[in-house]
Amino acid sequence: MALQIADLSKRYSTGTEALRGVSLEIEAGEFFGLLGPNGAGKSTLIHCTTGLARPTAGTIRVFGHDAVEDGSEARLAVGLAPQDVNLDWFLTAAETLDYHAGYFGMPRRERRERTKELLDVFSLTAKKDESTRTLSGGMKRRLILARALMHRPRLLILDEPTAGVDVELRLELWQYVQRINAEGTTILLTTHYLEEAEQLCDRIAFINGGQIVAEGTSHDLAAEFGVASLEDAYLELVGRNELSRARIVDVAQ
C-alpha cells in the first residue's frame, strides 16, 4: 500500500476543522485523484502526509512508514510538486535539483547523474546554468516536477499542477506524469479540473468540508449517483457554484 490514511483529523489553532475523519487507501502504482472545491482540505491532507502539518488525530502511513513517528523515512518516499512556483530565484536550474537531492542525503556523484538525467527528461538541459528566475512559466513547472523526482520518490504528490496553466503546457505535463506513473511511481493528484481527473486517474475521491464524500472510478462515481458523468456526480455533491471552476475550458480562457 502506497498511502494508508485512517481517521485523519486536523484542527488548526484557529479552530478550523480542515479534516474530519478522513480515511483513504492508495495502492502502489495507482494514479489517484483527490477532487474538491477550495477549502475542502486537500492541501491540509497533503501537508499532513509530507510532514508539513501535524495531524490532530488519526494515522498516515507512506509505504508502511508512519508520517509522524517515522517521519524521515516517510518523507523520503514522497515527492511533492506544490501548487505555488516556490523556486529559489538565486539558484540555477541545475543547482535547484542538486541542492534538493543534497537535502535528501543523496551522494554527490549520484546527484550529478540524476540532475543530468532529469534535465534531459524535462527538456531543460540547455537552460541548466540559467537562473530559475529567467525560465519561462512552462520551464518553471517542469523544473518543479523534476525537483520532486530527484530523490526517486515512490509516491509523487501533485498539488494542482495545472492551475492557471495553458492548454499546451497542461497536455505536456500530463504526458510526463503519465510516463512517470507507467514507470511505476504512484501518483496522488489534487485538482479541481474534472476532465483532468477523468482522463488521468484510476480512482478518484471527492473531498468536501474535510470529509471524503465519495470514492471510486469515474464510472463508479457516476453510477453511484445515478448520473451520466463524473461532472454530474460532482455537481450532486459539491454544488453548482463550483462547477464552472471545475471545467477546464472555462478556466483556460
Residues that bind ligand ADP (CB under 6 A): 12, 14, 16, 18, 36, 38-44
Nearest distance from C-beta of residue 37 to ligand ADP, angstroms: 7
Task: Report yes or no: 9 and 60 within 8 Å, Cβ to Cβ.
Answer: no
Q: Which is nearer to ligand ADP, 41 or 55 (CB)?
A: 41
Nearest distance from C-beta of residue 59 to ligand ADP, angstroms: 18
Q: Which is nearer to ligand ADP, 209 or 216 (CB)?
A: 209
What length is written for the chain?
253
Nearest distance from C-beta of residue 116 to ligand ADP, angstroms: 34
Q: Which is nearer to ligand ADP, 52 or 228 (CB)?
A: 52
HSE of 15 in the Cβ direction (CA atoms, 13 Å)?
0
What is the Cα–Cα distance from 174 to 55, expressed in whole angstroms? Answer: 31
DSSP single-letter state for residue 134: G
Nearest distance from C-beta of residue 188 to ligand ADP, angstroms: 13
Tell me how far CA of residue 53 lies from CA of 14, 46, 85, 120, 145, in angstroms: 14, 9, 20, 34, 22
Q: Which is nearer to ligand ADP, 179 or 245 (CB)?
A: 245
What is the Cα–Cα distance from 191 to 76, expressed in whole angstroms? Answer: 24
Q: Which is nearer to ligand ADP, 42 or 65 (CB)?
A: 42
Nearest distance from C-beta of residue 83 to ligand ADP, angstroms: 8
